[in-house]
Amino acid sequence: MASSRSNLGYLPGAAERTGSPVLDRLNAYSSTVESPDRWVVATVIAVSGSVPRPIGTSMAVRDDTLTIGSISGGCVESAIVDAALTAITDQRSMICEFGFSDESGLSVGLMCGGDISVLIEPLTPLAEAVARLIDSARDDAADDAGALIREIPLDVAMRGGELVAPAPPDSRAPLSPVTLGPGEPLPQTFAEAVGTAAAPVAEIVRRGGCGIVAVRDETRPDCPTVRRLFVESRRPRARVLIYGANDFSTAIAQAASLLGLHVTVCDARPVFATRARHPGAHEVVVDRPGEHFARECAAGRVDSRTAVIVLTHDPRFDLPVLDRALRMDLAYVGAMGSRTTHERRAQELVHGGLPQAAFDALHSPIGLDIGARTPQEVAVAVLAELIAVTTGRATSAGIPELRHTTGPIHRSRASDSDSAAPDHATPDPDDAAPSPDPTAPDPGPTAPPREESAAPPHPLHRLGTALTRGEAMISWI
């Protein structure tokens, strides 16, 4: 009978917040496959307690100590490099375990009190699989869904972190690493080799998570593990659609890209919707916002992970987007503007048929109440609110959303030298960016939509992990 026991190695509730740097950093890792015998990959495969990075975090180490990425943010990297050099010399894999290190600084470990297990493996057995992923990836590799599945040798004791499934008959033949493209099913030969373990593997891939699946021989009384699989997978980046091109969209696009989100900026004015003004955006589109959003919805490119941020300040452009977006199940819908603008939007939308409950989901005035005034500060406030909402922390962090406050949005700061400065020392967003005059005649149809989709270099968007107690432990495989 199959067991469904799950431990720290695969946490379904956190799977969407876990990722694989091997996949996320294909561009950075591309140089490693040219000389795989000089490289090892260190990957966090199990965690316990408070740790700096989740399962799936990886770093690559070359024989001259050149590194790509990090595992813990500085606590154990030196020990990982030392172990990696040994693994390169011997061409053998190992598992290093790190745990709590006291404040004396004399032991290698984590100051946060957690434990992590790190698999250190020569790149040579993985080189062909990594090369396949690189070849199949687009220029911006982080936008492609994918998976890398490989077998972890059994000669290492694991302290937990496994999904368990019974083994099929005669399943002992070694498995080569498997790569999957977007929506690609598990190969039939692989599925047959792992039996019912194919189901939990496929579920990890579907969620875009990382985890270990143990295949056990339940025909024997002790149900020994006969195969251990490490699954790394990634979903496409969540999207942020920004409507309205101005200094605020420039800052928000740049910051959102650094968070690992796929950013589209759309405005009907070609002079403002340019790549030069939005170097952080993956796409810059010249089109009417309402028409662009309708097409994205019709094409299935808008889902429950999508965030919509409206910066247009023109009812001809923002109302069509908001009316449609607020009727959908989206991750976040926010609109810039004063409280007066918000009330005007409420009258237009609710009187136009939008349910009041749907309108109440609008984050406007947009952002957290942190005193932001400059475009860069507003970008931090907006994206902090987006993160809080999507992680369920919106009402528990102690900093209110602006929409739940009263009074001026832009209050003067204690450090301002001019005590007579008005509350909104920085111009109100309604006046801060150039926009079409709402009273001007409708400009009529614009030129056919023009897209610029040269993605900027994607950031390191890694998800980390943890190691053992008091001292580093190395188990040779």
Q: Which residue would you say has higher pLDDT here, 404 or 285?
A: 285
Complete DSSP assignment for 304-359: TT-EEEE----HHHHHHHHHHHTTS--SEEEE---HHHHHHHHHHHHHTT--HHHH
Give 55-78 pLDDT, tens digit per residue. 888 889 999 999 988 887 667 888
Rounded Cα distance between 277 and 123, Å, is: 41
Of 6-15, 292-301, 438-447, the range with the lowest mean pLDDT is: 6-15
Provide the pLDDT for residue 477.
Answer: 41
Strongest mean pLDDT among 99-108, 153-162, 231-240: 231-240
Cβ 325 vs Cβ 308: under 8 Å: yes
How sure is the predictor about 37, in pLDDT bands with cuts at 50, 70 and 90? Answer: very high
Instruction: State the pLDDT at residue 224.
Output: 76
Each residue of 317-366: pLDDT tens digit?
999 999 999 999 999 999 999 888 889 999 999 999 999 999 999 999 99
Residue 96 · residue 89 · CB < 8 Å: no
Contact predicate 144/170, CB 8 Å:
no
Confidence tier at 79 by pLDDT (50, 70, 90): confident
Report the relative pairing of strands 58-62 and 39-48 from DSSP bridges. Answer: antiparallel
- Mean pLDDT (whole number) for 442-470: 40
Mean local confidence (pLDDT), 201-220: 85
Backbone conformation region of residue 331, classed left if phi is above 0, alpha if psi is from -120 to 50, else beta: alpha
Helix residue ranges, H only, 76-228 = 77-90, 127-136, 188-194, 198-207
Q: What is the phi/psi pair of residue 403, to 5°? A: -65, -15
pLDDT category at 436 given cuts 50, 70, 90 is very low
What's the rounded Cα separation, in Å, for the pair 289 and 285? 9
Q: Region 397-403: what's the mean pLDDT?
A: 61
**Residue 324, phi then psi, degrees to nearest 5:** -75, -45
Token pair of 375 as six digits: 């475009």
Average pLDDT over residues 171-184: 79
Single pTM value for the model: 0.70
| Residue 394: band (very low, low, confident or very high) from pLDDT cuts 50, 70, 90 | low
Tell me the domains of the chain and their CATH numbers: 12-236+460-476 (no CATH), 239-412+423-452 (3.40.50.720)
Measured between alpha carbons, how far is residue 98 from residues 158, 260, 434, 474 in Å?
A: 13, 28, 54, 9
CA dihedral 425, 431, 434, 439 (to 10 degrees): -170
Instruction: Write the single-letter amino acid at 453.
Output: S
Please tell me the predicted confidence (pLDDT) of residue 131.
86
> Are 358 and 375 a contacting pair, CB within 8 Å?
no
pLDDT confidence of residue 403: 64
What are the backbone angles phi and psi of residue 376, rounded to the nearest 5°? Answer: -70, -40
Measured from the Cβ of residue 281, the count of other Cβ atoms closer than 10 Å reads 31
Q: How far apart are CA 226 and CA 237, in angstroms?
A: 35
**φ, ψ for residue 258 (rounded to 5)?**
-65, -25
Please state, in angstroms and rounded to a whole number, the distance separating the CA atoms of residues 21 and 60.
Answer: 10
Q: Which pLDDT does position 76 carry in this prediction?
A: 81
Portion of the chain with pLDDT greater than 90, in percent: 35
Cis peptide preceding 365, ω within 30 of 0: yes
* 3 state SS of 181: coil
Give the amino acid at 251.
A
Beta 67-69 vs 450-452: how paired, if at all?
unpaired
Q: Write down the mean pLDDT value for the chain.
A: 76
CA angle 395, 344, 389 (to 5 degrees): 20
416-420 mean pLDDT: 38
| Cβ–Cβ under 8 Å, residues 195 and 229 | no
Least confident stretch, 54-58, 140-144, 265-269: 140-144
DSSP state of 35: S
**Integer Cα distance of 74 and 225 in angstroms:** 34
Asked if residue 122 has pLDDT above 70, the reply is yes
